[in-house]
Chain A
Amino acid sequence: MAKLDLRGVRKSYGSVEVIKGIDLTVDHGEFCVFVGPSGCGKSTLLRMIAGLESITAGEVAIGEEVVNAIPAADRGLAMVFQSYALYPHMTVRQNLSFGLENIQTPKPQIREKVEAVAKMLQIDMLLDRRPKDLSGGQRQRVAIGRAVVREPNIFLFDEPLSNLDAELRVDMRGEIAALHKRLGNTMVYVTHDQVEAMTMADKIAVLRLGELEQFGRPLDLFNTPANLFVAGFIGSPKMNFLQGRTDADNRSRLILDTGDTIDLPEGRFTQAPGQAVTLGLRPTELQPDPDGALHAHVGAVEQLGSESYLYGTFQNGTPVTVHNPGQTTIRPGDKVTLTAKSTAMHLFDTETGLTLRA
């Protein structure tokens, strides 16, 4: 059983703190994705789990064992690197065998394991080639194979797909997800791409500036983001944000900076009268509606046949994106009114950025 526990984990380089106290638990067999913009500390955190970076404070535990002082090789982990990090002078077979040789596995057994893994990843015909003779996707498979062959308790992936082209990335995404199903291991996966996070993860940890912004299931993060950052980061296209203030006399009445006024649903949010708030509306939840309360000016229209995007601005210049299924008759330059279902509204305190959900 390989549960991964982070307890108050911190990392400092000199006086600069890059990981500011992270607590989370990845249960056995879960696929956990660390996601965040570059510089958020997600890769550093992964390397701390791997044992490639020292831990300044707090504890990392694998299973029930605290591994802070245990060297990388003895933590029972395997890691797939962004650059694949295949040993250039070794053949694929030697690359796959290297880790097993280091733990004195008998030769016939190495051979057997390497061949089984190669077959599973469909790289068995590449075993005698060197990395430079492989395509990007093949290298990626070898890198994954090198991790799989060691039969680790936990797999670590450090942005493994970012060097692949878009099409291959979608393929490999599916393969890694399938691999996870088949092996049933715990996996920790770092990416800056929220689509990867949403499609692959059992649990997502959203990180920003070394802090854990939210940790939960993908749809929970999508449906109930804890703050403005998570709301803006998860979901594509990005959520629309509208600044405003609740009426001083009627807290259900929201006066937006765009000049529009809308009514907030009763009982869903804990806003105070006269509070500065930010309204969040997903592009998919906004609809053109002659009776809509939000007035916008359409700047560009993208028709993809089965879906269409409107890009425009509200009266005060705030940008807005609308994403609807089907085709539309709206053209650039049109003025439209938009409406949103009250159940799809997100409300945040503008000052703290935290959700005002009741």
Chain B
Amino acid sequence: MSVATQDTAIRTGRVTRTFIYVFLLVFALFYLLPFLVMVLNSLKPLEEITSGNMIALPQDWTIAPWLSAWSTAQIGVEPTGLRPYFWNSIKMVVPAVAISTVLGALNGYVLTKWRFRFDTILFGLMLFACFIPFQIVLIPMARILGELGIAGTTTGLILVHVVYGLGFSTLYFRNYYAAFPTELVRAAQIDGAGFFQIFWRILLPSSGPIIVVCVIWQFTNIWNDFLFGASFASGGAAPMTVALNNLVNSSTGVAEYNVHFAGAIMAAGPTLLVYIVAGRYFVRGLMAGSVKG
């Protein structure tokens, strides 16, 4: 991590420094441009867009597209707006992230501090979960969800995401805990702490950075997932991503681009928020993991 006032051996002149900042600023603006277009168009009436002023500032500022996208727009056959689906996504993503993170942490704890025969092989097998393409598991997963009687429900979707997320969350925590001093665990053992107590009172309080990494990763993946959502929870239980697709595809007559833009920003909002709030720790956590192995 760089510190603004870092005194490096290489002295950079004022000109060079200015050039670097201008360069960075230009690129930042360049990357922000699409988002700016989305925001601007979500705040103007449809006529302004269809008359060809995509890039211009709204002449007539309005939040009507947002209200429409949120509560009245046509999603499939129902004029419900994105609201119920937004809550579907929240109801899916919160438990799925929490469960996969906690289980990943437990796995990492056991794999590093309670070593057993073939533990590395088991870990290797778990890593495969990170590399299995989604499409391969669709049919077996559908069967399993059917057998369990949770096909087409948010619960089913949570299960799918937990199973799929475990590979990554285990990887994160195992590598993080591998660098965690085992003597602390031994000391706690002698101090009379049990299996879960050591986990809860010794390891977890020191796991901040890696928890943030894991939560951001899982949150982004699960929130943005479309394939599982479309396959296993269509209809009333569909998540935000699927609903957004339906919003865009089910316009009657004119395509309400301003409403679509508003809906897209809503769908992207939570991941954006998570990054802004916890992004610092994300980088820090990744560094900790990579440096310490």
Q: Nearest Cβ distance between residue B125 and chain A, in whole angstroms?
A: 22
| Max count, chain A CB within 10 A of own CB: residue among B184, B187, B190, B192 | B190
**Is B191 an interface residue, CB under 8 A from the partner?**
yes
A79 contacts which chain B residues (CB < 8 A)? 186-187, 190
12 A–B contact pairs at CB < 8 A? A50-B186, A51-B190, A72-B190, A79-B190, A81-B187, A82-B183, A83-B181, A87-B184, A87-B202, A98-B201, A102-B192, A146-B187
B189 contacts which chain A residues (CB < 8 A)? 51-52, 71-73
B205 contacts which chain A residues (CB < 8 A)? 89
- Known contacts: A88-B206, A102-B197. The answer to whether A83 contacts B191 by CB under 8 A is no
Asked if residues A102 and B191 are in contact (CB atoms below 8 Å), the reply is yes
Nearest CB in chain B to that of A73: its residue: B192
* Chain B interface residues toward A at CB < 8 A: 181, 183-184, 186-193, 197, 201-202, 205-206
Secondary structure dominating the interface of B: helix
Asked if residues B181 and A85 are in contact (CB atoms below 8 Å), the reply is yes
**Is A4 an interface residue, CB under 8 A from the partner?**
no
Asked if residues B183 and A87 are in contact (CB atoms below 8 Å), the reply is no
Asked if residues B193 and A85 are in contact (CB atoms below 8 Å), the reply is no
**Is A78 an interface residue, CB under 8 A from the partner?**
yes
Q: How far is the CA of A44 from the CA of B237 in the complex (A)?
A: 57
Asked if residues A89 and B206 are in contact (CB atoms below 8 Å), the reply is yes
B202 contacts which chain A residues (CB < 8 A)? 87
Asked if residues A85 and B186 are in contact (CB atoms below 8 Å), the reply is yes
Asked if residues B188 and A98 are in contact (CB atoms below 8 Å), the reply is yes
A-B contacts counted at CB < 8 A amount to 56
A71 contacts which chain B residues (CB < 8 A)? 189
Asked if residues A103 and B186 are in contact (CB atoms below 8 Å), the reply is no
B191 contacts which chain A residues (CB < 8 A)? 73, 98-99, 102, 146, 150
Q: How far is the CA of A50 from the CA of B186 in the complex (A)?
A: 10
**Is A77 an interface residue, CB under 8 A from the partner?**
yes
Q: Out of B187, B192, B197, which one reaches A85, CB within 8 Å?
A: B187
A87 contacts which chain B residues (CB < 8 A)? 184, 187-188, 202
Q: Nearest Cβ distance between residue B185 and chain A, in whole angstroms?
A: 9
Q: Nearest Cβ distance between residue B74 and chain A, in whole angstroms?
A: 52
Q: How far is the CA of A72 from the CA of B192 in the complex (A)?
A: 8
Q: How far is the CA of A74 from the CA of B187 in the complex (A)?
A: 13
Asked if residues A81 and B186 are in contact (CB atoms below 8 Å), the reply is yes
Q: How far is the CA of A230 from the CA of B205 in the complex (A)?
A: 46
Asked if residues A81 and B193 are in contact (CB atoms below 8 Å), the reply is no
Chain A 58-96 interface residues, beta-carbon cutoff 8 Å to B: 71-74, 77-79, 81-83, 85, 87-89
Q: Nearest Cβ distance between residue A16 and chain B, in whole angstroms?
A: 15
- Known contacts: A88-B206, A89-B206, A102-B197. The answer to whether A50 contacts B190 by CB under 8 A is yes
Q: Nearest Cβ distance between residue B183 and chain A, in whole angstroms?
A: 4
A50 contacts which chain B residues (CB < 8 A)? 186, 190
B188 contacts which chain A residues (CB < 8 A)? 87, 98
B192 contacts which chain A residues (CB < 8 A)? 73-74, 99, 102-103
Asked if residues A81 and B197 are in contact (CB atoms below 8 Å), the reply is no
Q: Nearest Cβ distance between residue B149 and chain A, in whole angstroms?
A: 42
Q: How far is the CA of A71 from the CA of B206 in the complex (A)?
A: 26
Q: Nearest Cβ distance between residue A49 and chain B, in whole angstroms?
A: 11
Q: How far is the CA of A79 from the CA of B192 in the complex (A)?
A: 12
Q: How far is the CA of A82 from the CA of B202 in the complex (A)?
A: 18
Q: How far is the CA of A150 from the CA of B192 in the complex (A)?
A: 10
Q: How far is the CA of A146 from the CA of B190 in the complex (A)?
A: 11
A98 contacts which chain B residues (CB < 8 A)? 188, 191, 193, 201
Nearest CB in chain B to that of A88: its residue: B206
Nearest CB in chain B to that of A52: its residue: B186
Given contacts A72-B190, A87-B184, A102-B191, 13 further A-B pairs with CB under 8 A are A73-B192, A73-B193, A81-B183, A81-B186, A82-B183, A83-B181, A83-B183, A85-B181, A85-B184, A87-B188, A87-B202, A98-B188, A98-B201
Asked if residues B193 and A102 are in contact (CB atoms below 8 Å), the reply is yes
Q: How far is the CA of A74 from the CA of B189 in the complex (A)?
A: 10
